[in-house]
Amino acid sequence: MQGVEATAHVAAHELAAMRRALALAERGRGSTSPNPIVGCVVLDAAGRVVGEGFHLRAGGPHAEVVALAAAGPAARGGTLVVTLEPCRHVGRTGPCVAEIRRAGIRRVVYAVADPTAAGGGGAELAAAGLDVVGGVLAAEAAAANRAWLHRVATGRPFVTWKYAATLDGRVAAADGSSRWITSDEARRDVHLLRAQSDAIVIGTGTALADDPALTVRVDDAAPDLTQPLRVVVGRRDLPPGARLRDDTAPTVQLRKHDPAAVLARLADRGVLSVLLEGGPTLAAAFLRARLVDRIVAYVAPILLGSGPPLVADLGIATLAAGQRWRIDEVTRIGPDLRLTLAPVSADATAAAAPGATVTPAAVGVA
């Protein structure tokens, strides 16, 4: 059983345990790629929490193994609640289904089915006589593992285009000055966004003009955070003293301009999520190739009237041909706004043509 129906078949304490497992999974964000983030809670036979765990790093123990080890003998006859269907294959670690059976677990509640070759653990456990319920808080768990699920489905990393601009869509003034368009609060939020990404991609134009460090710099970053891979796209060489040449984070230069080829190379390196921080030209290349999966826009209450626009020519001549995006979230950060947008499908775009009736999507404001 899945989704709403599945949630109806779990007790309140199991639902609370799943929410806790989702929170635990977030502790691994930024260090688990190319694996998903996973959290797990073990309840004893009376429904009390006796063990917790999360997946920290690829090659390390899975969340279920950590939680079962913490629970010890108290797990026997109890319930295991986990954000991803337990695996049943032997990789760098053993199959979690074997550990679950060995621990004497009676019931398993999971959120998202594993779509890889390791999937099917739920069915295997059910066949062994365990009570298994899947699809509990599946939407929340799928959103948390959006990049991993996207990579499994498409074979390429999930791409977020991040930009900071004025109200009139300028990323710098006419004299080239751009520091700082947005506030300290917005820039700190960008660092948190970087911490959730496996790679940050810019073009050589941005690298040469701004000499960025492209590192995560926040006081409360997770101690196990892995600095994102810094990726420079383009053929021009970086100067010897460029900050991207230091040892604070790994850097790779890809001397190509095809966005699909760039993503293929990054996929080969195990990258699940890409933060596109380049200038107007690189952004336009990814947008024209339809390889942007999300936009996170920081908009400052400033008007310039001139200066470079946030994106270069997209080859669009008419309003009807414009790329359509859905606003999923609007959040005020200091004096600025952060907008999170998702692409509108081709079918939805066609439905928005003159004469059609479209119901606006809800926008959450925090």
Q: Please indicate whether residue 140 is annotated as part of the active site.
A: no
To the question of whether residue 282 is assigned a binding role by annotation, the answer is: yes
To the question of whether residue 214 is assigned a binding role by annotation, the answer is: yes
To the question of whether residue 283 is assigned a binding role by annotation, the answer is: yes
To the question of whether residue 210 is assigned a binding role by annotation, the answer is: yes
Q: How many Å apart are CA 162 and CA 157, to the nearest integer?
A: 15
Strand ranges in the chain using DSSP code E only, listed in sequence order: 39-43, 49-54, 79-84, 107-112, 131-133, 158-166, 199-203, 229-233, 251-254, 273-276, 294-300, 325-333, 336-343, 364-365
To the question of whether residue 87 is assigned a binding role by annotation, the answer is: yes
To the question of whether residue 179 is assigned a binding role by annotation, the answer is: no
To the question of whether residue 206 is assigned a binding role by annotation, the answer is: yes
User: Of these residues, 14, 26, 52, 64, which one is catalytic?
Assistant: 64
To the question of whether residue 263 is assigned a binding role by annotation, the answer is: no
Q: How many Å apart are CA 49 and CA 24, to the nearest integer?
A: 13
To the question of whether residue 234 is assigned a binding role by annotation, the answer is: no
To the question of whether residue 281 is assigned a binding role by annotation, the answer is: yes
Residues 6+ apart with CB under 8 A from 169: 309, 310
Distances (CA, A) of 82 to 13, 73, 259, 356, 361: 14, 19, 36, 43, 31
Task: Assess contact for 31 and 2: CB atoms under 8 A.
Answer: no
Strand ranges in 192-267 using DSSP code E only, listed in sequence order: 199-203, 229-233, 251-254
To the question of whether residue 77 is assigned a binding role by annotation, the answer is: no
Residues tagged in the binding site annotation = 62, 87, 96, 164, 178, 180, 194, 206, 210, 214, 217, 277, 279-285
Catalytic residues: 64
Residues tagged in the binding site annotation for NADP(+) = 164, 180, 210, 279-285
Residues tagged in the binding site annotation for substrate = 178, 194, 206, 214, 217, 277
